[in-house]
Every structure is written in structure tokens, then in C-alpha cells.
């Protein structure tokens, strides 16, 4: 089975922080922050993602061609579902970038960037799987990124760090449930996509727990409902466009 994108380096967090300049965000001037933020956005939306971990695979099926085993209908369905998952990772990059920019706490910033580095793995894995399935990413990725960035930045600036962490918890909980639904909906014989989604689901659950341990507050029920509505719009549109 083909691996997902090349594996590059071991100091992923250090590389990401150095590239974005986010470890010292409080000392950067406004123009530096704008350039660093724009660089992160352009790389997420337009540049190929690079994973720090191998793409999840099933060893017992490593010598099979997982795409040729799928019917045309199954390839289309898998491609649509993985496109939605890819959009979710684009949004995750935007959220974590915005929240790391908004906080003044270097410990929280490091926590957010560490989670973002793992989300970059997800971005690379879903991107590669889309290519294998002959599917394309969402045409609206710049819009999804911009919307998620705005929400993340507002959550960090207006609500403070504990609200920002609460936003992480609720987002990851909803994403975990969404990924479980995709495990149920993916074609039974698309084991490659299922392996990727299963690892993503495990990572998202861990991110939520880490944010809870860091002191996240529970968001009000109306806010949780609005987040679910926004996610529903995104997943419905991204499934097709």
C-alpha cells in the first residue's frame, strides 16, 4: 500500500514554531505577525502537506492495491468522504494557528502548536488518499480556512485561554463523532481510508482530553449548537464541492 507523503524530520514542533514565529508571537511586530499568519494560511491551502508520521496502513494488506479493489461508486463515495475529512484538517490548521496567535501564554501556545503538528499529519494523509482515489480537495478550502481562522481568533481574544481550550474540546469532540460516522459510511473494503480515519479519531480524542486537563471550560449549550450547525453546513457542502 502506498504511504502518505514523505516523512520529514523529527523536530516537527520546532520547525513549525520557527516557521510561523508563533513561539515568540508576543514579541513580534504587527507586520511580522501578518506575514507569519499569511504564510501559514498559504501553506495549508495551497502547498502539499508533509507528515511527520507514516500514513496509517494495515500490514496484512500492505501488498495490495486498495484502490483497484474498489468499484467506481465506492471510489466516488470514499473520495467525497475523505474530501470532507481533508476540509476538517484545513479548518483545524486555521483554528490552531489563530488560537496560538491570540494567546499570550507560551505554554498554551506550545500545546496548541503540538496539536497542530499532528493535525498536519492528518492533512497530509487525507490529501494523499484523495490523490489515490482520483478525487480532489474542496474548491472552497480558502473560504473554510478563513472562516475557521476568524472563529478561532475570536474565541482566543474575546473569551481568553480557558474559553479557547473549551473551544478545542468541543471541536475535537464533534470531530471525533463525525469521524466515527465516516468509519460507518466508508465502503467496507476501503480499509486504507478506514485506517487513516481511525488514527485521526484516536488523535482527536487525545487532543480533547489534553485540553480538558489544561483547564478548558465547558462551552454554553447554545454555542455548542451553533458549532454543530456550522459543521453541518461545511460537511454537506464539502461532500460535493
In this prediction, residue 17 carries a pLDDT of 43
Q: Determine how many CB atoms are found less than 10 A away from the CB of residue 198.
A: 16
**Torsion angle of alpha carbons 191, 228, 212, 23, nearest 10°?**
90
pTM (2 d.p.): 0.80
Domain residue ranges in the chain: 15-238
Q: Residue 67: CB partners within 8 Å, gap ≥ 6?
A: 75, 132, 133, 134, 192
Q: Residue 110: CB partners within 8 Å, gap ≥ 6?
A: 13, 17, 23
DSSP strands (E only) in 177-235: none
In this prediction, residue 31 carries a pLDDT of 67
Q: Are 237 and 140 in contact (CB under 8 A)?
A: yes
CATH superfamily of 15-238: Ferritin, core subunit, four-helix bundle (1.20.1260.10)
In this prediction, residue 9 carries a pLDDT of 31
In this prediction, residue 124 carries a pLDDT of 92
Beta bridge partners of 7: 51
In this prediction, residue 239 carries a pLDDT of 86
* Selection from 92, 117, 105, 59 nearest residue 179 by Cα: 92
Phi, psi for 206 (deg, rounded to 5): -70, -40
Instruction: Print pLDDT tens along the chain (241 aa).
Output: 444 443 333 233 333 344 444 444 445 556 666 777 777 777 788 778 888 888 887 555 544 456 777 888 999 999 999 999 999 989 888 888 888 888 888 888 887 877 788 888 999 999 999 999 999 999 999 998 998 888 888 877 877 788 888 888 888 888 888 899 999 999 988 989 999 999 999 998 988 888 888 888 888 888 888 888 888 888 889 888 8
Checking phi first, is residue 135 left (phi over 0); if not, alpha (psi -120 to 50) or beta? beta
In this prediction, residue 44 carries a pLDDT of 82
DSSP 83-142: HHHHHHHHHHHHHHHHHHHH---HHHHHHHHHHHHHHHHHHHHHHHHHHHHT----TTHH
Q: Are 241 and 235 in contact (CB under 8 A)?
A: no
Amino acid at each position: 500500500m502506498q504511504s502518505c507523503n514523505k516523512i520529514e524530520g523529527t523536530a516537527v514542533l520546532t520547525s513549525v514554531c520557527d516557521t510561523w514565529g508563533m513561539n515568540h508571537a508576543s514579541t513580534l511586530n504587527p507586520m511580522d505577525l501578518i506575514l507569519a499568519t499569511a504564510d501559514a494560511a498559504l501553506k495549508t491551502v495551497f502547498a502539499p502537506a508533509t507528515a511527520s508520521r507514516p500514513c496509517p496502513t494495515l500490514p496484512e494488506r500492505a501488498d495490495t492495491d486498495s484502490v483497484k479493489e474498489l468499484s467506481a461508486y465506492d471510489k466516488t463515495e470514499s473520495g467525497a468522504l475523505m474530501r470532507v475529512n481533508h476540509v476538517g484538517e484545513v479548518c483545524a490548521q486555521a483554528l490552531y494557528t489563530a488560537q496560538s496567535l491570540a494567546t499570550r501564554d507560551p505554554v498554551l501556545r506550545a500545546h496548541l502548536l503540538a496539536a497542530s503538528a499532528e493535525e498536519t499529519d492528518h492533512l497530509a494523509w487525507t490529501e494523499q488518499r484523495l490523490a489515490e482515489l482520483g478525487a480532489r480537495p474542496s474548491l472552497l478550502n480558502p473560504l473554510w480556512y478563513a472562516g475557521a481562522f476568524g472563529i478561532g481568533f475570536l474565541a482566543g481574544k474575546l473569551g481568553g485561554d480557558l474559553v479557547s481550550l473549551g473551544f478545542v474540546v468541543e471541536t475535537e469532540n464533534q470531530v471525533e463523532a463525525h469521524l466515527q460516522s465516516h468509519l460507518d459510511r466508508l465502503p467496507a473494503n476501503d480499509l486504507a481510508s478506514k485506517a487513516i480515519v481511525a488514527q485521526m479519531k484516536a488523535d482527536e480524542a487525545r487532543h480533547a482530553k489534553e485540553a480538558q486537563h489544561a483547564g478548558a471550560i465547558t462551552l454554553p449549550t447554545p454555542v455548542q449548537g451553533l458549532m454543530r450547525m456550522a459543521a453541518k453546513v461545511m460537511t454537506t457542502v464539502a461532500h460535493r464541492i
